[in-house]
Amino acid sequence: MFEFSFLDVSGSFGLVAYGALTLNFIIGMFMSTGIKKTSYWKKLPPIVNKYPLLTIHNFTAYTAVSAVFLHVFFLLLDKQAGFTFSQLWNPLHFNHQPQIILLGTIGSIGFLFLLLTSQKFIKNNLRFRIWKNIHLLAYVFAISFLIHGLLMDPLLKDRPVDWLDPEKFFSEFCVLLLLAATVLRVRYHFRR
């Protein structure tokens, strides 16, 4: 019989955040290459060309940050998890996988910082190079977020990682997509 758990809902929002951030990163890498000016982009069907990449990039960013907040919110509601609000800011005092939770906290705060510095008012008051350097921190935050998702036990019972679990498989797939996109992006950078 199905048993409702806030921990399961929290995990589901964590997966939504994982997927949205993966898509966000890939779109951001495409945008940084000027892909819309290439012949590859122009050969795509018109239905693809009509959607502005920046709008999709922003939507996935807001979706990811919202999902992260809901992930944390439902985690706090779960009585069995025993997670408190103060442990969000100092997860090293949590009984289960504190270092892995710390990585998730760093990634979450980092992505919120990137989202805030990308607001038009702030971005326009920063020089482009400063904003770009801040935005490159996304790679650091992504690594912490990805490790959090890969190694965290979704039931908070300190079990070893089940790499064949469907949730972990989704996380692994996202990591592989990001690695492939990063390799392609770096190759593009050095070819230019």
Would you put residue 5 in left (φ > 0), alpha (ψ -120 to 50) or beta?
beta
What amino acid is encoded at 181 in this protein? Answer: A
Determine the Cα–Cα distance for residues 103 and 140; give it in Å rounded to an integer: 11
DSSP string, 14-31: HHHHHHHHHHHHHHHHHH
**Nearest 10 degrees: Cα torsion 141, 143, 148, 149:** 110
pLDDT for 150 equals 94
Tokens, residue 131: 């904003």
- Contact call for residues 21 and 65 (beta carbons, < 8 A): no
The pLDDT of residue 47 is 81
How high is the pLDDT of residue 87? 82
What are the helix and strand counts (H, E) for the chain? 10, 0
Q: Determine the pLDDT at residue 48.
A: 77
CB 181 within 8 A of CB 27: no
Determine the pLDDT at residue 83.
85
Ordered per-residue pLDDT tens for the chain, 192 residues: 567 789 999 999 999 999 999 999 999 988 888 877 777 778 888 887 778 888 999 999 999 999 999 999 999 999 888 888 888 778 888 888 999 999 999 999 999 999 999 998 898 898 888 998 999 999 899 999 999 999 999 888 889 999 999 899 999 999 999 999 999 888 888 887
- Please state whether the predicted TM-score (pTM) of the whole model is above 0.85: yes
**Tokens read off for 25:** 């990163």
Residue 37 backbone class (left: φ over 0; alpha: ψ -120 to 50; beta: rest): alpha
Query: How far apart are the C-alpha atoms of 117 and 182, rounded to whole Å?
Result: 23
Asked whether 100 and 147 are in contact (CB, 8 A), the reply is: yes
In this predicted structure, what is the pLDDT of residue 42?
80
Q: What's residue 1's pLDDT?
A: 57
Residue with the two structure tokens 């997509």: 177
For residue 46, what pLDDT is reported?
Answer: 82
**pLDDT for 92:** 86
25 CB-contact burial (10 Å; exposed 0-12 / middle 13-18 / buried 19+): buried
